[in-house]
Amino acid sequence: MITNILKLPVRKAIKITSMVVVFTTAVVVSTAPAFSQQSQQSFKGAAHDAWLTGKIETVLTLNTMLNSFTIDTDVDQSNVLLTGTVSSDVEKSLATELVRGVEGVEDIDNQLEVTGKPGVIDQTQHELSEAGDTLSNWVSNATITATIKSKLLANSDTSGLSIDVDTNHQVVTLSGDVSSPEESELAETIAANTSNVMEVTNNLMIVASDR
């Protein structure tokens, strides 16, 4: 299967791109200089829900344990409704935890249907048992990676598409290219401030900016 710089299938990459566009557009509107306090308050309506939807769908798409194409997200006044299908109760619970970790979410109604068909987690659990690792550790690592990646993509001062994130036993390794020492430090700080991260190894290379 053809993959891109995020090491994700092309279909997922396309969905990530669209979610980032929605997310970025909402951020630009909310932070514009002419945006009055009254407008900021009104932003907590439909526009804020759209912004929150973008954040949630980005997190779900970046998590390689879930098939985000079978999960639908609806947000109403910061309350999230999840519908669609997943292959196991573990995947259903994982979706809830990922959404709960998104800042701004008030409540979650998880109506995902468990189909019982083998999914990514089931296949991975078998592979992990043969490798002597645990599913809970793998889930934790993948969730940390997805969370950090979504933060880097959302931050206008970091090259989210150029930074690779790998997590092993809650130790995060950053690699790829950035344009300045400040960007490298910012990416490291974002990773270090993410829940459950124990340590960050910064292997980012500083190159001339072409952005």
Radius of gyration of the chain (CA): 18
Please tell me the predicted confidence (pLDDT) of residue 196.
87
Task: Give SS3 for 90.
Answer: helix
pLDDT at position 134, please?
55
Burial 76-98 (b: 16+ CB within 10 A, else e): eeeebebeebbbbebbbebbbeb
Q: Compute the Cα dihedral for 14, 20, 23, 27 and give only its sign.
A: negative
Enclosing H/E stretch for 179: none
pLDDT at 51: 87
Helix H or strand E encompassing 63: none
H or E element in which residue 145 lies? helix 135-154
**How far is it, in rounded angstroms, from Cα 178 to Cα 158?**
8
Looking at residue 19, its pLDDT comes to: 52
Token pair, residue 203, equals 């292997």
pLDDT of residue 1: 39
- Taking only the tens of pLDDT, the chain with its 211 residues reads 334 434 444 445 445 544 544 444 444 444 444 445 555 555 567 888 888 888 888 888 887 778 888 899 999 999 999 999 988 887 888 888 888 888 889 999 999 998 876 555 555 555 545 554 555 666 778 888 888 888 888 888 888 888 999 998 889 999 999 988 889 989 998 999 888 899 999 999 998 765 4
